[in-house]
Structures are given as C-alpha cells and as structure tokens.
Homo-oligomer: A and B are copies of this chain.
Amino acid sequence: MDKQESKQAKDTEQLILEAAIKEFSTKGFDGARTSTIAAAAGVTHAMLHYYFRTKEKLFERIFKDKIRYIINMVISPMVEASGSIKERIRTGIEKHFDFLLANKELPIFFITTINSRPEAYKEVINEFSTNAHNRICALQKELDKACENGEIGSVRADQLIGDIASLNVFPFLAYPMLMAATGHSDFDTYMEMRKIEIVEIIMKRIS
C-alpha cells in the first residue's frame, strides 16, 4: 500500500484514458467529444483537462502509446521466428492476423488519424521508416537465398510485405462491406476463413 499516494489518482487517470481510447478509436479525433469521454469514464469533464490539459494532448498520448504497442507486438517479434523461410512467413502472417483479431479497432484508428492529422502522419513515418527498412533488406537477402536453393520462387520483399499487409489488415477496415457483399453474417467465422485463405494465397505466391 506504499504506492497509493492519493485516494485513487491513478485510477481516475486510467478511467479517462480507457474511455478516451474507445471514443477516439470509434469516432476519430474530430468526432470524439471530451464531454462524452468524461461521462463514459464517470468523471466530470474538468477532470479530463486537469489530467491531460487539452483534448489534443490526450489524443497524442494515446496515439503514441498505440504506435509503440504496435512496434512491440508486431514488428519486433517478426525477427524471433525460427524454421524454414516458408514456415516463418506462414507463422508471421498468422501471428499478425491474430494480433489484429485481438485489436480490431487499431487499423481504423490509424487510417483515420493519419488521413486527418498531418502531425500524426509524420510521427508514424519516422517511427516506421527507420525500423522497417532494415528488416525488409534482411528479408530480401533471405528470400534471394531461398530462391537460389529452389525453396521458393523469385519474390521482392517490399511487394510481399505489401501483399501481406493488404490481405491481413483490409478485412478489419472493411468487414461490414465485405461480409455484406459475400453474404456472411458471423464475424468470427468470416475472419477464420479469411485467415486460412490469406495463408494459402501467400504460400502460392512464394512457391
């Protein structure tokens, strides 16, 4: 009990943060209302300003947290995979897809934010470009080697990343339309089928 300096300070801050994440994720920065966030957190909206000064700063805090979260959860673990190149790509896709299943709101949050906020855009560019470029070069070398061994066909690493990102992320951005168009009604079932299909199409691509 030595950490509990004040009544429930961290508690309130956390409540606001959690409510804010939901609000910003579903409605975007412009659509989000600080009063709605406060109400959802069960506090007066003055508290939101007390803890985070402005709507702007509250949003930035959340956005940067999410970037770090993605980098830790998705990009970093890619390195630690083992097995043949084919197997590593397969499990990489599956891990990424499972991550998205556990964070359904992340894609739409990022896409809307980056499109409506130039600062956020630059933030992401800086964070991603340094981090990702080296890894793609490394992947390219591995692919080339595997190609020479006859394990796989010739593939460009940057295009393969584009393929996987597109196939994995898009369903989470557009599942209402995709499901309506293809006559599916259950989200989980549809996503399970997508996952299998995506692994299939990528495996055929690199064969």
Contacts and interface: CB of A to CB of B under 8 A. Distances in A.
Interface of A: 26-31, 108, 110-112, 114-116, 121, 124-125, 128-129, 132-133, 136, 156, 158-159, 161-163, 165-167, 169-171, 173-174, 176-178, 180-184, 193-194, 197-198, 200-201, 204-205, 207
7 closest A-B pairs by CB: A158-B182, A166-B170, A30-B31, A30-B30, A132-B181, A129-B180, A159-B197
A174 B111 contact: yes
Stoichiometry (number of copies): 2
B182 A171 contact: no
Contacts of A129: 180-181, 183
A159 B193 contact: yes
A197 B132 contact: no
Contacts of A124: 176-177, 180
A31 B120 CA distance: 15
A197 B30 contact: no
Nearest to A194: B162
A115 B112 contact: yes
